[in-house]
Each structure stands twice: as C-alpha cells, then as structure tokens.
Amino acid sequence: MTTLPRPEHPRPQLVRERWLNLNGEWQFEIDRGDSGLERGLLERDLAQTILVPYAPESVASGIGDTDFLHAVWYRRTVEIPWDGEVLLHFGAVDHDATVWVDGVEVARHRGGFTPFSADLGTRRQGQGITIVVRARDLPQGPQARGKQSVAYANATCLYTRTTGIWQTVWLEAVPADRIESLRITPRPSAFEVETVLRRTRPGLRLSFTLSDADGVVATATAGADDELAPAARLVVPEDRRRLWQPGHPHLYDFRVSLHDTDDNEVDRVGSYAGLRSISIAGAAILINGERVFQRLVLDQGLWPDTLMTAPSDAALEEDIRLSMAAGFNGARLHQKVFEERFLYHADRLGYLVWGEFGDWGAAQSTVDGDPQQPTASYVTQWVEAVQRDRNHPSIVGWCPLNETWQALHDRITQLDDVTRAMYLATKAADPTRPVLDASGYSHQVPGADVYDSHLYEQDPVEFHRILAGKAYVNEHDGRTISLPYAGQPYFVSEYGGIWWNAGRVEDADDPDRLSSWGYGQRVRDLEEWFTRFAGLTDVLLDDPRMFGYCYTQLTDTFQEQNGVYDARRRPKFDIGRLRAVQSRPAAFEE
C-alpha cells in the first residue's frame, strides 16, 4: 500500500477537525486532443494511475510525461465518512479545471496557482461518490504559467511544465451555518478580525479567543446578523504583548466559534496570527517601526522529482532553514504562488517573504511588438492569491507582475490597464503592506509604494558605477521602459545569478545533468565566486538608500545552475563563509 503523500492539513489558517485527505492513487488519462468529453472519459474508467498531488510531468507522479499535455483527466471514487454538508477542496490545479461528482458538474476554475472548492451539499456517511477532474493546459497564449516552458524542452530560465493537480485535494465536513473565511489584521496592540459567514437563520453570534502558551490572552464577541462581515477587536494586554519579528517570531493561536440562539456551538475554526506592523517612512520600509535590511534570496520552489509540488512538508521547512543558514532573512517567492504550508513555516521561523504571481512567459504578438499583454484573468487569479495569503505575518510585500517588458509610449495598452488593475486590487484587498507594481524594468503605476530594478552586471566596479551614476536603473538595453524613480523605497530585487556548476555537467551518473546556464561569464573557481559575490553584495550593503536586495538564487533549477545549493539541496559553497559576507551591518540600518 502506498504511503499517503503530503498528509498534513493544507490550510493551516482555517482548520476544522473533520477533514479527509484525498491524495494518493487516482485513475488518470492524458487527452492530447482535448476530445475526452466527446469520447466518453467522463463516464468510463481511465487508462492509467497517478499519484496525486504530483503533476504528471514529474517522476514522483508515476507518469513522467514531459511532452505537451493539452488536457488530462482524473477519476476517483470516495466514501463519505460523515453525515452532513461536505466541501471538496483543491489546493491548485493547472490551469483550467472542471470538476464533476457522479456525472454532475460542480465546479469550474481558471488559474494554476490558487485554490477553489465545490459544495457537495448534504451527504450520508458511507455514501460513495465518484469525482472526475479535467484540467486543460495550453502551452501558448496569455496564460499565467510562471517559468513553465512554452517550448518542448527546457531552456535558459524556462523549466519543465506542470499540468493538472499539483496540490492537496481534500474533503471537509461543514455545518449549514459556517465560517467561510477570516481576515486578521494586526495593529500595534490588537488584532482586528473580520469574518465571512454562510448563514441560513437569524440570531447567530461569534466568539473569538486569542491564546498563547500561557493560556487565554483576549476574548471578544460579535453579532452575526447586522453586517456581511462581522468584526471584532482583540486587545492584547501589555504584559502579554510579543511582536512577530524576523528571526524572532511569536504567533498567537486563534479560535473562532459560531453560536446559535441557544448558545450551541454550530461551527469552530482554528487559526493563528502574528502581531507586527509594516510602514513606509520616506525611502524606508519599517517592520515594527524599525529599519530591517531585507537580505532576500530568489526562491523558485522547484524540485527535480516533484516539480512545483514539494516532496514533503519537511522539504518546505528545509528550504527556509537552508536560506537562513546562508545568511538570508527572507525570499522573493518567484514566479509561483507557493503552497500555503510554505508560508506557515515562514511564519513559524520568522522568515520575510514577498508574495508574487506567476505571470512571466505569457507571451503573444501584440501592437508595437510588446511581448506580454496579460488579461483580466490575471487580476482575478492574483486577488485569489492575496485573499488566501494576507493573514500570514511573514509576508512583508506584494509583487503582482515581473519583467513585463513594455516601453512607455503615447498609447495606452492592455498591459497598462492590467498592471494598474492588479496594483489597485492588491491595495484594496490588503492595504497593510507595500505593493511593487511590476518587478524589474517596467514600472507603470505613478507613485507606486516601491521601486526596484534587476541588475545582473557581474563586475562589482561596473555594478557600483551603474547604480551610482543613475538615479536608479530604469532602462534595459538602452531602452526606457519604466516610469522614473520618484524617491520611494528602493531595492535591487534581482542581482548575482553567478554561474557555477563544478562537476555537474561532467558527472555522467548525475540524473539532473543538463546543459548549464547562468548569468554572465562562468566563474573559474570557488575563490572567484566568493570574490564576485562579496563585491556585488558589498555595493548594496553600503548604499544607505537601499532597504534590501534579492540574490539569484537559492537552488539550481534544472539547467539554470546559479544557486547557492544545487537542485538536490546540497551546498555548493562554504555556507559559513557565504553567511559571513552578508552578516555585516547595512548602511540602511545605521
């Protein structure tokens, strides 16, 4: 019998006691012509078996097919373990999903990075249901796919595709009157909590309990009839007040209960939160009112055998610990909306995170040759991501778009509209964090909270000259493609990418052996690598105007071999020496 893969609860900020993990073996079939509905795949058994939640392109799935998979089908019969209402949840399905239960369509969802659910209504314990999922995933067109290759093979910084189910599938028992979501906002001495409810009767009320290791810290109640989103404020007494800080996190437990008119508890969910603030003062981003230099690393969240899905929950935590061991205090979660379990571990470990969307590579031919014109679907998917993740204290900033590569001119384009829409939607969904409109080169929103550039110059002397000689870099190849810097907080959000792959290409026994790629001229030895890394990093640490940096990257990712660790998470360098380079104080903090 196969051990259940990824058995942990996938949604740690909204937990109920009764749930059933549906990972494991499902029937599976590839539908290359996307004609499966017409050919009866909805009604019959499927030809293969796959291990969910691993994508069919991955080795771990048991399929390992890396050709184009325009459509794939899944099928599984499940026995309901409870009486009452049941929800069917999908952590993520790439890209367009349709779900049927017992032949009846129950859900549709577009977007490969965000969760969705199907309400299965009232079910009986022991009742069998058959779940069928079709996922469509076209390689071309304006689709948010991140760094998934649109060609057959991997190349440069484009990687193996992910199709279909790649996060946990699960059932949850829920009451008819229930808590659907929580919105927890930390203030300097309190938490404000808003709830979204599903109600079928009047007279309901909510109770909120905030606790720490020593017991109950604060309680509050709220009536559930008068507002669409009932809210409460829980003040933390001064003697129980502990901040969530990078490297020194403190988390409070939350319990939210829904009661009827007879004071019976009809629903209860568990959650947690951290007490911390983020603010902007001039060109500085402050955490809890203090300057904290953000030593970030680019994390692409890919594994050789499991692709976008972490091989285990422990693997998510390990990546954070490896990053911190190398001297980084946070990451840009690059071109992928990470599993929520990653953010849970970042919250626990005090690790700073910039949340990002997987928009890169949505290329199509457009007016004036602009290579990327994202659609309104990007806005929808991004808002879903922000709503899912906004309660995590580790997230200190949002970045909806990356390297959108459009020159400014006198025509308003679809990209202008979508960029502004994504920025405004982020501010509306979460007004508590700074937002970077588009990372690297193509700032389109005047007065956006944050400004940045990507600079992969490999010579530290030239690197310094470029940054010192211009207000800040806003060009690429001599072509202005960005609004000018306006004095807001600034950081170089991609640099380095130093190419080093000693022994990898020559090792014929290494299953990850691929043609190597990195930025600039490949260094000749480890000493040259450390000299270059220290030189580039010192320039950024010495710039008092800069609140942080982001080094490319944490691990080798397939053929892109410029990581601090290789793809198997083995160190490529003396990690203590690397940490020492980053450990000296930054001018920003003085």
Pairing of strands 395-399, 352-356: parallel
**Structural domain span for residue 46:** 24-167
* DSSP state at residue 369: G
Contact partners, residue 193, CB within 8 Å, separation at least 6: 182, 183, 184, 185, 208, 220, 231, 232, 233, 234, 254, 256
CA pair distance 297, 562, nearest whole angstrom: 12
Look at residue 6 and tell me if it is in a domain.
no
The C-alpha atoms of residue 466 and residue 282 are separated, in whole angstroms, by 23
Mean pLDDT, rounded, for 321-347: 98
Residue 49, domain member (yes or no): yes
Distance CA 98, CA 78 (A): 18
Q: How far apart are CA 66 and CA 538, in angstroms?
A: 41
Residue 503, pLDDT score? 59
Indicate the residue among 117, 147, 167 that finishes a domain.
167
What is the tens place of the pLDDT at every residue in 515-570? 677 888 888 899 999 999 999 999 999 999 999 999 999 999 999 999 999 999 99
End-to-end Cα spacing for the chain: 58
Q: Is 10 within the bounds of a domain?
A: no
In a domain, 353, yes or no: yes
Of residues 57 and 480, more confidently modeled: 57
Q: How confident is the model at residue 18 (pLDDT cuts 50, 70, 90)?
A: very high
Average confidence (pLDDT) over 27-52: 97
Q: How far, in Å, CA of 501 to CA of 436, rounded?
A: 33
pLDDT at 50 over 70: yes
What is the C-alpha separation between 301 and 241, in angstroms, rounded? 34
Paired tokens of 51: 């291990």
pLDDT at 517: 79
Q: Which amino acid is at 185?
A: T
What tokens were used for 191? 């938490």
Interhelix angle for 414-429 vs 376-389, to 10°? 20
Amino acid at 362: A
Whether 8 is covered by a domain: the verdict is no
Give the span between the Cα atoms of 186 and 53, in whole angstroms.
Answer: 34
445 plus 566 within the same structural domain: yes
Q: Quick one: pLDDT at residue 323?
A: 98
* Overall average pLDDT of the 60-69 stretch: 97
Q: How crowded is residue 544: how many other Cβ atoms within 10 Å of its Cβ?
A: 13
Helix (H, G, I), strand (E, B) or coil at 173: strand
Q: Is pLDDT above 90 for 227?
A: no
Instruction: Using the predicted structure, report yes or no on whether residue 31 has a pLDDT greater than 60.
Output: yes
DSSP of 207-219: EEEEEETTEEEEE
> 549-564 pLDDT, tens per residue?
999 999 999 999 999 9
Distances (CA, A) of 268 to 56, 125, 175, 420, 484: 36, 21, 10, 38, 50
Domain containing 402 — which CATH number? Answer: 3.20.20.80
Count of structural domains within the chain: 3
pLDDT at residue 371, as a whole number = 56
- What are the pLDDT digits (tens) for 139-161? 877 889 999 988 899 988 889 99
pLDDT of residue 362: 58
Residue 239: Cβ within 10 Å count: 6
For residues 369 and 517, state if they share a domain. yes
The pLDDT assigned to 63 comes to 98
Q: In the predicted model, is pLDDT for residue 237 greater than 60?
A: yes
Is the same domain home to 194 and 58? no
Mean local confidence (pLDDT), 107-127: 97
Give dist(CA 291, CA 505) in Å, integer: 43
Pairing state of beta strands 451-455 and 490-496? parallel
The two counts, helices (H) then strands (E), for the chain are 7, 33
- Indicate whether 478 belongs to any domain: yes
What one-character-per-residue DSSP string does 227-240 give?
-SS-EEEEEPPGGG
Which CATH number covers residue 233?
Answer: 2.60.40.10
Q: Are residue 515 and residue 433 in the same domain, yes or no?
A: yes
**Do 242 and 359 belong to one domain?**
no
pLDDT in tens, 363-379: 544 444 455 678 899 99
Same-domain status, 208 and 304: no
Sequence-distant (≥ 6) Cβ neighbours of residue 43 within 8 angstroms:
103
Omega of the bond leading into 553 within 30 degrees of 0 (cis): yes
Helix (H) or strand (E) holding 174: strand 169-174
- What's the rounded Cα separation, in Å, for the pair 345 and 330? 12
DSSP at 551: E
Residue in 13, 26, 133, 18 with CA at minimum distance from that of residue 78:
26
What's residue 521's pLDDT? 83
Whether the pLDDT of residue 413 is over 70: the answer is: yes
For residue 434, what are its two tokens?
């700074």
Give the phi and the psi of residue 534 in degrees, each rounded to 5: -65, -40
Residues 261-302 have pLDDT tens digits of: 999 999 999 999 999 999 999 999 999 999 999 999 999 999
pTM as predicted: 0.95
> Do 267 and 363 belong to one domain?
no
pLDDT mean across residues, the chain: 92
Domain identity same for 342 and 481:
yes
Average pLDDT score over residue span 110-120: 97
* CATH number of domain containing 38: 2.60.120.260
- Helix (H) or strand (E) run with residue 386 in it: helix 376-389
φ and ψ at 418, to 5 degrees? -70, -40
Domain boundary among 243, 273, 303: 273
The per-residue pLDDT for 515 is 65
Please give the pLDDT value at position 368: 47
- 234 and 121 in a common domain: no
Q: Which domain-ending residue is among 273, 306, 324?
A: 273
Q: In what order do the strands lie in the sheet with 48-52?
A: 48-52, 24-30, 71-79, 128-136, 96-101, 104-110
Distance CA 231, CA 155 (A): 50
200: helix, strand or coil: coil
For residue 505, what pLDDT band results from cuts at 50, 70 and 90? very low
Nearest to 492 by CA among 423, 426, 539, 562: 539
**Domain assignment present for 378:** yes
- Residue 426 counted as domain residue: yes
Q: Are residues 433 and 570 in the same domain?
A: yes
Q: Is residue 355 located within the same domain as residue 387?
A: yes
Same domain? 449 vs 479: yes
